Structure 1
Amino acid sequence: MISIDPAMQSDHDNYKLLIGSVVPRPIAFVTTLAEDGVLNAAPFSFFSIVSSAPPMLSVSVQRKQGVMKDTARNAIATGELVIHIVDESVVEAVNVTAANLPPHESEVALAGLTPVTSESIRVPGIAEAKIRMECVLERSIPLGGSDEASPACDLLIARVVRFQLAEEIYEHGRIHAAKLNPVSRMAGNDYATLGKLFSIDRPQ
């Protein structure tokens, strides 16, 4: 085994080890509204389930040189966001939204995606996504960095207030994974599809 002390190497080197080890990672495609009404969108793979009662999700939004990204700033300001699950049919358009645009320009328009009105919150979702979850911001937690004044990320805890699901992927209260065709993030520019599925019975 190779033993590495993260304190003895750069943040970038630790980042490479993490994104190469914690794989595959689901991708949260998040829309938020800026104060001037511009619809912001961006993908994040530091993303997971927090709770089912109530349903809550976590999205970690990394800061750039200590500066908060539009997604975190908008979500904190408005208290709302829509989290979409990325599938094969939208992954290329979602990748376009990762471009660095000024806050007054919409990544949704750049990617040619279609905004759709949400039922429970003001932030629009994206019509092309098979799963979108309308959320309110439960909590935001600045974390990491060299000191409290310079956090490395903003951990957003989002509570789902409405599930919007494409009919073809929903069966008897469950999501049909093969019809969803989710895409996950690997390291570098690599992505993964669903691949082989297998089952193991849990111990009694």
Structure 2
Amino acid sequence: MREIDPTTLTQRDNYKLLIGSVIPRPVAIVTTLSEAGVLNIAPFSFFSIVSSDPAMLSIAVQRKNGQAKDTARNLLATNEAVIHILDKENVVAANHTAAQLPPETSELDASGFTTVPSSTVAVPGLKEAKVRFETKLYQHIPIEAGSQADLLLLQVTAYHINEDIYQDGKIDPEGLQAVSRLAGNTYASIGEMFDIKRPDD
């Protein structure tokens, strides 16, 4: 077993070890609005569930040259976002949103996504996603060490779930066809599924 001290590695080398090991990672497609009303769309694989009571999600946004990226800057200004689950049917469109565009330019045209109104936030959602969460900012935790990042805790204010994958209060994973991120340019779909009974069941 090789032991490596992360403090001896560059940011890039730490990044490669983390994204190559913490797999598969769910991918969020996040929409936010700038103060000028420009819709930003961006994918994030530093994304997870935080709590179910209250329903809460998290995204971590790495800063660029010490500056907050559009998603973090917009969220901190408006306190709202819509988070969508990446799936096989929208992965190509989502990949187009990763392009480096200036803040005054929306990724909407490049992606081909279609917007739909939200019910609890001003930020529109993306029609093509089978699952989306309207959210409001609960807490911002700035990470000031190293290259810096913004950890954003987001409380869910509404769920939107495609009827085709919603069964008895649960999500059908085969119908959702969620796509996860591995390392580099590699993604993965849901593979073999198996059950293991928990000791307390």
- Per the shorter chain, which TM-score range? over 0.9
What is the CA distance between 1:201 and its match in structure 2? 0.3
Matched, 1:47 2:47: yes
Query: Which residue does 2:24 correspond to in 1?
Result: 24
- CA separation in 1, counterparts of 2:40 and 2:57? 19
Matched, 1:188 2:184: yes
Give the total of aligned pairs. Answer: 200
Q: How big is each residue's C-alpha offset from its partner over 1:115-142, in whole Å with a ceiling of 9 and x where there is no partner?
A: 1100111000000000000000001111
1:17-166 correspondence runs (5 A) = 17-146=17-146, 152-166=148-162
Secondary structure at 1:77's aligned position in 2? helix
- CA separation in 2, counterparts of 1:109 and 1:139? 31
What is the CA distance between 1:144 and its match in structure 2? 4.2
- CA separation in 1, counterparts of 2:91 and 2:117? 21
The runs of 5 or more residues in structure 1 that have no matched partner are: none
What amino acid does structure 2 have at the position aligned with 1:59?
Answer: I
Secondary structure at 1:119's aligned position in 2? coil
Secondary structure at 1:195's aligned position in 2? coil
1:178 to 166, 174, 181: 174
What amino acid does structure 2 have at the position aligned with 1:182?
Answer: A
What is the CA distance between 1:145 and its match in structure 2? 2.3
| Cα root mean square deviation, aligned | 0.8
Q: How big is each residue's C-alpha offset from its partner over 1:134-170, in whole Å with a ceiling of 9 and x where there is no partner?
A: 0000011111424xxxx61100100000000000010
Secondary structure at 1:140's aligned position in 2? strand
Secondary structure at 1:154's aligned position in 2? strand
- CA separation in 1, counterparts of 2:85 and 2:159? 11
Moved more, 6-15 or 126-135: 6-15
Secondary structure at 2:29's aligned position in 1? strand
Secondary structure at 1:31's aligned position in 2? strand
What is the CA distance between 1:68 and its match in structure 2? 0.4
The runs of 5 or more residues in structure 2 that have no matched partner are: none
- Give me the identity figure in percent: 55
Secondary structure at 1:155's aligned position in 2? strand
